[in-house]
Amino acid sequence: MNYYSTNGKVSGVSLRQAVIKGLADDKGLFMPDVIKRLPQAFFDTIDTLSFQEMAYTVADTFFGEDVEADALKRIVYETLNFDVPLVKVSNSIYSLELFHGPTLAFKDVGARFMSRLLAYFVNREGDDVNVLVATSGDTGSAVANGFLGVEGVHVYVLYPKGLVSPIQECQFTTLGQNITALEVDGTFDDCQALVKNAFMDKQLNAKMKLTSANSINVARFLPQAFYYFYAYAQLKKLGKADNVVVCVPSGNFGNITAGLFGKRMGLPIKRFIAANNRNDIFLHYLRTGNYVPRPSVATIANAMDVGDPSNFARVLDLYNGSHEAICADISGCSYDDNQIAESLKRCFEETGYLLDPHGACGYRALCEGLTAGETGVFLETAHPAKFKETVEKIIGTEVAVPAKLQAFMQGEKQSVPMAKTFEAFKSYLMADK
Ligand SMILES: *Cc1c(COP(=O)(O)O)cnc(C)c1O
């Protein structure tokens, strides 16, 4: 399968190149030439398959031409060795818990899949590759842990100083080995700009092989389609698979884009809701047809503090730029910190289910937006203990920290302070190699 760029100046790129490069030379995002529909028989029997079996079928339709079957199967099975339960929260609303992986957030899936696919390609060439990743919190931990100890790959995690939670921070600053954490004196958007500039810098690219692990990478965002299929399969088992509405707490829009790909492959999802915090650039687009990026503002759902969601380009491309078609499949909403806190608290008090601030946006959107006969699933994108201080303040009760998280907090923080200018970042990388 070949890939083309959303900016239209690059096409015919192999999967191997797309995964190693991350971003196309024209600064666009890679899209597969074809999105194949899965046969009806697959959907008829989907509820009889294991998560791994089902995911392998989905992976095969995207990557089967470019990765040997045995290797692809191993990559899928290694990636998904944890459960993704669907939990009933209230009448007709279900939570798809994506936080049972190593760092307790959904990005584990894409990060693990990508690390293994990248290793599959580069280990055949013998060249070391450097992964640059900007994070507003959860990407960094998922990528760092997904890549930890993978040979031939060094990871640089760029994160905004003081803007990620202490628990998030320790998950990528305490690892050592092939993981370096860079503490940038700026915002997430500054971090993302540094990474984007690095990919465009000729001198830097001549010196070292650079790639990205942000959700712009096809190997990171596409595997996220797996769990939409699994959500559907579990609802089918419950006899609730008609009129499924999936709500995705969204920041860079990689997660929801993977769901839209799933729908394009034939997955019977009626419609999507993109839940935003106050960074509601997408909602503004839905309402006006104009996409107007603006600097991000800090919220308690900080993994969604994105002022220029990179995967918007993919959404637009998927629908041939049609605002009308996009609005037919996706609606939006935006909640401020008070509304997020209020929903988190109310859900806990009324149902006993503890949300994290991102999931709370998703839950609230379904409470407000479901119509009669619809079944809603929101993606619970992180474990509430990852936002312990925030959540405890809201519910007034202590939140137990799972053993997996506690282990990280025992480690020692090692990070490199970094100015937000590209010159500083570039000279650091040049000197480090
Ligand atoms: C990354 C993240 C999101 C947003 O996902 P996108 O793919 O960037 O839209 C939502 N919630 C949590 C907890 C995250 O880590």
Nearest CA to ligand 1 atom 8: 252
Catalytic residues: 107
Q: Which residue has the higher pLDDT, 126 or 23?
A: 23
Instruction: Write down the pLDDT at residue 24.
Output: 92
Instruction: List the strands of the sheet with 179-184, edge to edge.
Output: 210-212, 129-134, 153-160, 179-184, 416-418
pTM of the predicted protein model = 0.90
Identical fold between 83-106+221-404 and 108-218+410-432: yes
Instruction: Write down the pLDDT at residue 129.
Output: 87
Nearest CA to ligand 1 atom 1: 303
Averaged pLDDT, 125-135:
85
Q: Which residues line ligand 1 (CB under 6 A)?
A: 105, 107, 138-139, 215, 249-255, 303-304, 358, 381-382
For the CA of 358, the nearest atom of ligand 1: 11
Averaged pLDDT, 135-151:
86
Instruction: Write down the pLDDT at residue 145.
Output: 92
Instruction: Write down the pLDDT at residue 433.
Output: 66
Q: Name the pLDDT band for 307 (thresholds 50, 70, 90).
A: very high
Range with lowest mean pLDDT among 17-26, 27-36, 73-82, 152-161: 17-26
Compute the distance from residue 250 Cα to the ligand 1 centre, in Å.
6
Compute the distance from residue 127 Cα to the ligand 1 centre, in Å.
31
Q: Name the pLDDT band for 408 (thresholds 50, 70, 90).
A: confident
Averaged pLDDT, 418-427:
97
* Residues paired with 169 in a beta bridge: none
Instruction: Give the residue extent of every domain in the chain.
Output: 83-106+221-404, 108-218+410-432
292 has a pLDDT exceeding 70:
yes
215 has a pLDDT exceeding 90:
no
Taking the C-alpha atoms of residue 102 and residue 322, their distance in angstroms, rounded to an integer, is: 39
Q: Name the pLDDT band for 150 (thresholds 50, 70, 90).
A: confident
Return left, alpha or beta for 344; rule: phi > 0 is left, psi -120 to 50 is alpha, else beta. Answer: alpha
H helical segments located in 148-250: 166-173, 188-200, 202-207, 218-221, 226-237
Instruction: Write down the pLDDT at residue 21.
Output: 83
Tracing tokens 């998030």 back to the chain, one arrives at 168
229 has a pLDDT exceeding 70:
yes
Instruction: Write down the pLDDT at residue 324.
Output: 98
Compute the distance from residue 175 Cα to the ligand 1 centre, in Å.
22
Nearest CA to ligand 1 atom 14: 303
Range with lowest mean pLDDT among 139-153, 193-207, 386-400: 139-153
Instruction: Write down the pLDDT at residue 432.
Output: 80
Under CATH, what is the fold of the domain 108-218+410-432? Rossmann fold (3.40.50)
Taking the C-alpha atoms of residue 331 and residue 248, their distance in angstroms, rounded to an integer, is: 11
Instruction: Write down the pLDDT at residue 4.
Output: 98
119 has a pLDDT exceeding 80:
yes
Nearest CA to ligand 1 atom 2: 303
Taking the C-alpha atoms of residue 225 and residue 156, their distance in angstroms, rounded to an integer, is: 26
Q: Tens digits of per-residue pLDDT, 378-397?
A: 999 999 998 999 999 999 99
CA distances from 81 to 102, 108, 120, 307, 387 (A): 10, 11, 19, 34, 24
What type of residue is 27?
Answer: K
Instruction: Write down the pLDDT at residue 213.
Output: 79
List Cβ<8 Å contacts ≥24 apart for 343-349: 343/367, 344/391, 344/394, 344/395, 345/394, 345/395, 347/89, 347/90, 348/395
Q: Name the pLDDT band for 152 (thresholds 50, 70, 90).
A: confident
Taking the C-alpha atoms of residue 226 and residue 254, their distance in angstroms, rounded to an integer, is: 13
Secondary-structure class of domain 83-106+221-404 per CATH: alpha beta
